[in-house]
Structure 1
């Protein structure tokens, strides 16, 4: 069997399909690169990565094969001798590529010149492929409109790639844990390839969203078509996306990882690429469009149907309110209905395809039917922001903050990666991770515990020792905090009054300990990033409220509420114990 791939996206489709024949030692699986594509540069590396045996094109054309699998009809495939099987390349026929094929109005992959083969390579009249495997009956009708002979060999078998997503849905929480999503909403941007794609028309959108959407409420990911990965190369692509990547954007890998990220997603922003249909077929979650008028999208196609029915992010506007409004405007069921026009036989693709392929081979299939292979865990963001522009709003609470009669204040906190937008109320930076320039400019400095291997030998700060050092070494620092655990940090503030700070030394108020209570939500436990809670306490302590009385604090902690998005986390502020202050850090 020869797997003939012209591009990495075609190769990835073939790799999703070959489990239909797995476990059979009668079949030898070989690969070849079909020449002529601008997007074939990564195929050889991808074959090597899976450990495939590659046959040079000249050698492939000189031999005969019992079966030739392709996922693109383009290129000099007529030169390959054997039964040709054309497998799904994407979610239906949605785009027309100008200058491609012999018919400028034909959908990509449906030009009559691409649908026929000369089966024996001897110059005989073109004939249909042995099997044209499609995912939906409407696709058979589209093939028939292009060439009746090709439609006679078309069978609806479903989509093996979609079946991998459907089979992997129970791993959603594992994928989100691997990404570090936590309680945030994972918003995924999807960009196809070409001049009408999201990244070509709105290259600034990922960075704009990263600048404006609060870091503690949203996580951003980007799925880029494999053709763009091949055309630009990883280095150039990541340099173009550097501001967004520095802000924590997850750039999904073009093989398998993109599908894991779709399963993990809470919402999608898409152009006219068919990846959105896989998302909609897998889960009924919000999807909004940014595609504007162009020449590529085919009227009446599944993607046209989807984009016509979902909300649009105008301009596109990256303001949080506009994003929220568009996501709220999505009508449940809309995406799934559109996906239903692209995919049939869901969950049965490998089984149906297996029957067809073994019939062409003239072999009895093994008793065991291989299930779709589960998708691997995605990789987390390679860069995590360590400094934030923080906006806070302090509202007086309902009580004194002592005992059980209410909270002293409610503090709303919104953190955005520093440097992408307007400055916030204060700059918060993580010591040991942020740059020296940002550390020196920060009004709030916080530090997390060193990894165990680093803390086990040599000397280390105590928690209170580091806070005193930070206030002394960095005159711009108003608050220093030592994060001891996910639910506990210590904090010192620089005195507010000129009288108390008249010595010019690093004198500070006493060390406080702050407990951050988790939230119980529908049987789940949700935790706030303690660094966000540090900013909440900083805003309250350095605001208009009087300094907490140490004697009162010792009797009853001050209760605060740290509001992040639509969640309110309870904070309890009290004097730090001697043991906490002396904890190695």
Structure 2
């Protein structure tokens, strides 16, 4: 069997379908790069990363195969000898790409779907929905002859991985926050081309304690730019903690983990809507690529539109539940059966009896955590009696707040010198090595002495207890936030956010509290009870 890929995204689609023939030692799996695409540069490295055996194109054209699998009809596939199968490349036919001769839609050009007499015919064109067969037939009835509805193997992986949502979110460090995923397709009408600063604007707008940002970029765009160039362009948002999904598999894991989606006209949003019924909003600014009446056109017409980054929460709240899932039904049929149907079709073409033990769709991998986590925040606060509202945003990309809160030992010295609140978390201790540590109170005094611009210092102990001291104050306080119970789940907030609340509350007092005091710390839509009291001698002497 030869897996013929013209681009990285086509290769990834083939890999999602590969389990249909897994576990069979009668089949040898080979790979080749179909030349001619501007986006083929990453195919070879992707084949190497999965340990595939590569056959050079010239050699591939000189041999015969029992099965030739492709996920794009373009390129000189007709030069490959064998039984040809075309698999879904994406969620339907939503775009028309200028210059590709793909009218009315990319992937439906009869020049690619109908072979001349000298070429091996297309034995099977696997599509995801009956409407796709209708659309192919409308272009050319001959092209519809090998088309069969088998569903989408890539969607199968999302569907079987939904139960891993909590695991994915734990790996990403999402916690009780909402994970907002941005999706950018490729080309001049994509989100990153039309609104290149949207990721940074959202990072500057959204509260760090309420939202985590992620970006899913089409593999073609990553191939065109290269990872280094892409990350340099996205540096402000990445420095603020935004996740950047890898183009193979991880993007789908992020869709499972996400609480909401901002999309352009790329078909990734349809996978999200098919797997989960969660808010999705449009950031597409229009153009000539989106085909009227296509599933993506229907989705973008029915979901809220993002007018500006400042109004993203209002747009998400305006989403009507069920809208996305209803549209996704027009793009995907045979949900939950695609891999088994494909397995039956492929073995029939091979003339073989399938092994007794089939291979189910493979679970999506656990995603990687963010490469960078913000350690300095512009903090806005609103203090009223014993209630403090706190909003923390990554420092340096938005407007300054009430004060600058900086994690000592993780942020730059320049930021530490500018901090109003300086806090520190426990340092990891190497196992089996000599240890050197401060006591908590000694570090507080050291921080206030070493950094004269700092008004407060906070030591976050491993237990989550915060020891807090202000400049000129005589007492060291212990600050403890209580967890919340929400539907059987325990929600805890970042102790550093609570320290920021105390930093704003204490200076507003005419006298410093000598007895335990109850505070309410409001973070987003949650309120956490907080106890402030003088620290005990044992707590002050805690190794830190």
Q: Under TM normalisation by the shorter chain, which class is it?
A: over 0.9
Match of 2:167 in 1: 174
Match of 1:98 in 2: 98
Q: Deviations over 1:452-499 (max 9, x none)?
A: 22896242111001100110011110000000035311000013xxxx
Q: Does structure 1 retain, via aligned residues, the 8 Å contact 2:84–2:120?
A: no
Match of 1:339 in 2: 328
Task: Please say if 1:468 is aligned against 2:445.
Answer: yes
- Report the Cα distance in structure 1 between the residues aligned to 2:18 and 2:464, rounded to whole angstroms: 48
- Report the Cα distance in structure 2 between the residues aligned to 1:462 and 1:427, rounded to whole angstroms: 25
Structure label with greater radius of gyration: 1
Q: Does structure 2 retain, via aligned residues, the 8 Å contact 1:135–1:345?
A: yes
Task: Please say if 1:425 is aligned against 2:425.
Answer: no
SS at match of 2:31: strand
Unaligned runs of 5+ in 1: 119-123, 397-408, 496-507
Task: Please say if 1:251 is aligned against 2:244.
Answer: yes
SS at match of 1:485: coil
Match of 2:373 in 1: 384
Task: Please say if 1:533 is aligned against 2:472.
Answer: no
The 5 Å alignment of 1:136-535 reads 136-314=129-307, 317-319=308-310, 322-396=311-385, 409-453=386-430, 457-495=434-472, 508-535=473-500
Task: Please say if 1:548 is aligned against 2:539.
Answer: no
Match of 1:78 in 2: 78
Q: Which moved more, 1:454-463 or 1:181-190?
A: 454-463
Per the TM alignment, residue 517 of structure 1 is displaced from its structure 2 partner at its CA by: 0.8
Match of 2:542 in 1: 583
- Report the Cα distance in structure 2 between the residues aligned to 1:5 and 1:370, rounded to whole angstroms: 23
Q: Deviations over 1:528-562 (max 9, x none)?
A: 0000000001100012x223343xx1xxx101111
Match 2:111 to one of 85, 103, 113: 113
Per the TM alignment, residue 367 of structure 1 is displaced from its structure 2 partner at its CA by: 1.1
- Report the Cα distance in structure 1 between the residues aligned to 2:119 and 2:6, rounded to whole angstroms: 21
Match of 2:523 in 1: 564
Instruction: Specify whether residues 549 and 287 from structure 1 end up closer, same or farther in structure 2 by C-alpha distance, changes over 3 A only.
Output: closer
- Report the Cα distance in structure 2 between the residues aligned to 1:182 and 1:487, rounded to whole angstroms: 15
Per the TM alignment, residue 279 of structure 1 is displaced from its structure 2 partner at its CA by: 0.1
- Report the Cα distance in structure 2 between the residues aligned to 1:220 and 1:441, rounded to whole angstroms: 27
- Report the Cα distance in structure 2 between the residues aligned to 1:469 and 1:454, rounded to whole angstroms: 26
**How many residues matched?**
544
Structural RMSD (CA): 1.1
Match of 1:400 in 2: none
- Report the Cα distance in structure 2 between the residues aligned to 1:520 and 1:7, rounded to whole angstroms: 48
Per the TM alignment, residue 125 of structure 1 is displaced from its structure 2 partner at its CA by: 4.9
Q: Does structure 1 retain, via aligned residues, the 8 Å contact 2:83–2:121?
A: no
- Report the Cα distance in structure 1 between the residues aligned to 2:35 and 2:513, rounded to whole angstroms: 77
Q: Does structure 2 retain, via aligned residues, the 8 Å contact 1:116–1:127?
A: no
- Report the Cα distance in structure 2 between the residues aligned to 1:149 and 1:480, rounded to whole angstroms: 75
Per the TM alignment, residue 42 of structure 1 is displaced from its structure 2 partner at its CA by: 0.5
Match of 1:502 in 2: none
TM-score calculated relative to the size of structure 2: 0.99
SS at match of 2:309: coil
- Report the Cα distance in structure 2 between the residues aligned to 1:51 and 1:350, rounded to whole angstroms: 23
- Report the Cα distance in structure 1 between the residues aligned to 2:209 and 2:465, rounded to whole angstroms: 18
SS at match of 2:214: strand
Q: Does structure 1 retain, via aligned residues, the 8 Å contact 2:6–2:75?
A: yes
Q: Deviations over 1:418-466 (max 9, x none)?
A: 0111100000000000000000000000000011228962421110011
Instruction: Specify whether residues 66 and 549 from structure 1 end up closer, same or farther in structure 2 by C-alpha distance, changes over 3 A only.
Output: closer
Q: Does structure 2 retain, via aligned residues, the 8 Å contact 1:2–1:29?
A: yes
Per the TM alignment, residue 516 of structure 1 is displaced from its structure 2 partner at its CA by: 1.2
